[in-house]
Amino acid sequence: MSSCLICIVDFELLKSRSEIMNLKIQFIEIENLKLAKKNKLGTVQFIQAANCQDLSPGSLNPKNAKYILDNLNFGIAECLNNKKVGLVTGPIQKSNIIEGGFKTFQGHTEWIQKKTQSKNVVMLLSSKKIKVALATTHIPLTEVAKKIRKAKLVEIIQTLHSGLKTKFKIKYPSITVLGLNPHAGENGKIGTEEIKKINPAVEVCREMGINASYAISADTAFTAKKLKQTDAYLAMYHDQALPVLKALSFGEAVNITLGAGIVRTSVDHGTALDIAGKMKPNLGSIKEAIKAAEIQLK
């Protein structure tokens, strides 16, 4: 059977949004994925895994936190039960989840790692122009240096290398590793993480046959020439390289979880509360996320 798209959502939420947006859509509830049929124009197939407490568009309510995570958990479980099933997630408001009682919540990637019991997962954002992986994700900048560890970086580079080969069919991936400090530490004069942690981790990976660069300065890593030579960048923290990706490809990039043992993709943007229930969003990134999941499932 050809692939099909099933929404995990509360029916009342679907109905409410369609009425607000004046959309004429037929909703078909299915009890399990085995009953899914080929998608048709104007029709949405859905599974209801939980009840949404507050249907109001454009506003946050911590009471919805459990609903969101119940849906996420359902999707993860379905992917674990059937390798032919992939999970495409929309944007999530982390602060609302935390305020809803889930104090340790950091994001989709970390939650998926926990639920799939994966040793190591890597967040990769990918577009036609650039791929960026992250050594650390949604943590305060003051915590980043503490999280940069040699053994962990070795695992991350290995996971990135493997993901580039399996998910993108790149035979000999070229990985450009960014330094943590300005000028990549300038031989220890502006920080020692490159000398003590990053480059030793790269050395281990290079001995394994992985084509990863020693730490280079982020301020010269994204020249046109370097972009052509690089299959993926490994940034030390969230905002080190993602501004470059979004400047080049915002609305066209895909968030991909590597190392989790399931196919999971997502959008490259946030929740856009200002337009929720008011206008149609730019669907570029969600379309790319769906395509990326479909390709990985083949």
In this predicted structure, what is the pLDDT of residue 74? 97
Average pLDDT over residues 55-63: 92
- Is residue 265 pLDDT above 90, yes or no? yes
Q: Give a yes or no: residue 44 inside a domain.
A: no
pLDDT interval class at 260 (50, 70, 90): very high
Q: Give a yes or no: residue 129 inside a domain.
A: yes
For 164-197, what is each residue's pLDDT tens digit? 999 999 999 999 999 999 999 999 999 999 999 9
Q: Give a yes or no: residue 177 inside a domain.
A: yes
In this predicted structure, what is the pLDDT of residue 283? 84
Q: What is the mean pLDDT of the chain?
A: 94
| CATH code for the domain of 131 | 3.40.718.10
For 129-144, what is each residue's pLDDT tens digit? 999 999 999 899 999 9
For 42-53, what is each residue's pLDDT tens digit? 999 999 999 999
Report the percentage of the chain scoring pLDDT > 90: 87
Average pLDDT over residues 251-271: 93
In this predicted structure, what is the pLDDT of residue 274? 84
Measuring CA to CA, which residue among 131, 155, 126, 153 is closest to residue 236?
153
Q: Give a yes or no: residue 237 inside a domain.
A: yes
> Per the structure, how many domains does the chain have?
1
Average pLDDT over residues 10-34: 92
> Domain residues for 210?
83-297
- Is residue 1 pLDDT above 70, yes or no? no
- Is residue 2 pLDDT above 70, yes or no? no
Q: Give a yes or no: residue 6 inside a domain.
A: no
In this predicted structure, what is the pLDDT of residue 214? 98
pTM reported for the whole predicted model = 0.91
Average pLDDT over residues 12-40: 92
Average pLDDT over residues 12-25: 91
According to DSSP, residue 198 is labeled I
